[in-house]
Amino acid sequence: MFSFNLKKTDGRARLGQITTAHGIIDTPVFMPVGTAGTIKAMTADSVRTTGAQIILGNTYHLMLRPGADRVHHLGGLHEMVDWPGPILTDSGGFQVMSLKGLRSMTEHGVTFKSHIDGSLHELTPESSMEIQKKLDATITMAFDECTPYPAKKEQAAISMALSMRWATRSKDAFIERPGYGLFGIVQGSIYEDLRQESVESLLPLDTEGLAIGGLAVGEGQELMFSTLDFTTPMLPIQKPRYLMGVGKPDDLVGAVARGVDMFDCVLPTRSGRTGQAWTWRGQVNLRNARHKDDTRPLDESCSCPACRNHSRAYIHHLVRSDEMLGAMLLTWHNIQFFQDLMKGMRDAISTESFNKFQAGFEATYRGGDIQAL
């Protein structure tokens, strides 16, 4: 059975556990993004050492390369990528939205040209469900249109209504199996009444969870938080809540404080490939010359190999020399930090000390890394 157990609340912050066909997920949780079937610069074993319980794959990228049929032939994503634990797959809606000039959209679905070779493809709610089943996604996302920002209310309303019709078709096409789940996606941009209408459209579908889409698309943290302030109270208490594509560490803490359970973002891995580390004292740019003679670890409290075995000076050298080990070590550190941050929040909720945790985190994080010298 796919189930969600809300174990404790502390204010609006929630401690829970999702049971799936592929294992347990403790929430709040951050899902490392393996867009094309790999957490970039990481092995599956190294991802597991960070405490990650679930990873994310992407329908759009995997349908183009290596192809859903091939993934199915290779045993599904779990077997192919050596990840027996839960996997969530994004439906492809966000990526298709990003293909400006390369797509056309109708009520039926979206026709688009591959960014790889220009070949023509179509995604519909039905084909997205079929592809995600072939990938063997533990959690399947309904096919939607991710409303861009900024969007006038009329545009956001039309986009949301289309996504709700597609959600119904996604539900109809989804093949239920024990321990697998489908999540609907709440749209409506920054407009409270549109978000309410979206939730009311999704509730009769009784999907296993609900995601909040259409945020982290350029609106900024303040507007994202204000949208969450009125959106999360609309959602069912006994279903997991997933904020898609978020985000920075302070985004995660603020969203957990507002009742969100699940997150994903490419930030930890993308930052690792560009010389950036995330720490309890904020972001650290290892390209900066101030690190060239620094014998300290990135973060004294971190147990990852980058912090345990290497100095900032060495990682600075790797980054400036464009050595691939630099990206590997920084990515490992970033994934570890994000997992440690989520565990810290889970522990704080369990002891009803989340407000104290949040205040301490924000004070240290905003203080910056330079003050740690």
Q: What is the CATH number of the domain that holds 138?
A: 3.20.20.105
Is 235 buried (19+), middle (13-18) or exposed (0-12) by CB count in 10 A?
A: buried
**What is the spatial distance between Cα 60 and Cα 127, in angstroms, rounded to a whole number?**
11
Q: Please state whether the peptide bond connecting residue 233 to the residue before it is cis, i.e. omega within 30 degrees of 0.
A: no
pLDDT in tens, 233-279: 999 999 999 999 998 999 999 999 999 999 999 999 999 999 999 99
What is the DSSP pairing of strand 139-141 with strand 87-90? parallel
Out of 265, 291, 326, a domain closes at: 265
Query: Domain check: are 73 and 202 in the same one?
Result: yes
Q: What share of the chain is helix, strand, coil (3-state, %, to 5)?
A: 45, 20, 35
Domain count, the chain: 2
Q: Say if residue 242 is in the same domain as residue 301.
A: no
Same domain, 83 and 22: yes
Tell me, yes or no, if 264 is annotated catalytic. Answer: yes
Closest residue by Cα to residue 133 from 173, 82, 188, 183: 173
Cα distance between residue 338 and residue 318, in whole Å: 22
Residue tagged active-site, from 90, 251, 261, 340: 90
pLDDT of residue 93: 77
Kindly state whether residues 114 and 213 are assigned to the same domain. Answer: yes
**Torsion, CA 56, CA 145, CA 258, CA 346, rounded to 10:** -10
- For the chain, list residues with pLDDT below 50: none
Q: What is the pLDDT of residue 341?
A: 98
Residues 195 and 157 in one domain: yes
Q: Are residues 232 and 360 in the same domain?
A: no
- Distance from C-alpha of 317 to C-alpha of 324, rounded to nearest angstrom: 11
The answer to whether residues 231 and 293 belong to one domain is no
Tally Cβ neighbours within 10 Å of residue 101.
5
Three-point CA angle 145, 58, 115, nearest 5°: 75
Angle between helices 354-367 and 249-257 (to 10 degrees): 160
Say yes or no: 220 and 336 in one domain.
no
Beta bridge partners of 183: 141, 209
Domain boundary among 247, 265, 283: 265
- Of 10, 136, 144, 264, catalytic: 264
- Which domain does 309 fall in, by range? 272-372
Last residue of a domain, one of 216, 235, 265: 265
Is the domain of 242 the same as that of 95? yes
CA angle 356, 362, 363 (to 5 degrees): 90
Whether residue 224 is found in the same domain as residue 168: yes
The answer to whether residue 90 is catalytic is yes
Q: Do 242 and 279 have their domain in common?
A: no
Q: Say what the pTM is.
A: 0.97
Q: Are 269 and 40 in contact (CB under 8 A)?
A: yes
Dihedral class, residue 251 (left if φ above 0, else alpha if ψ from -120 to 50, else beta): alpha
Same domain, residue pair 203 and 257: yes
